[in-house]
Amino acid sequence: MQADRQNDIMTNERVMMAIVRASELFKRKSSAIFAKHHLSFSQYNVLRLLDGCPDSKSSITEIAEKLLVSSPNLSGIAKRLEKAGFVSRTRDKADERKTILTLEQGGRQVLARVEALQRENIRVLLADWPERQKDAFLSLLKDMLQKG
| Integer Cα distance of 84 and 38 in angstroms | 9
Query: pTM for the full model?
Result: 0.82
Q: How many residues does the chain have?
A: 148
The domain defined by 2-147 folds into Arc Repressor Mutant, subunit A (1.10.10)
- The domain segmentation of the chain, as residue ranges, is 2-147
> For 76-135, how does the pLDDT look when each residue is reduced to its tens digit (9 = 90+)?
999 999 999 999 999 988 888 889 999 999 999 999 999 999 999 999 999 999 999 999
**Residue 5 confidence class, pLDDT cut points 50, 70, 90:** low
Q: Are 47 and 103 in contact (CB under 8 A)?
A: yes
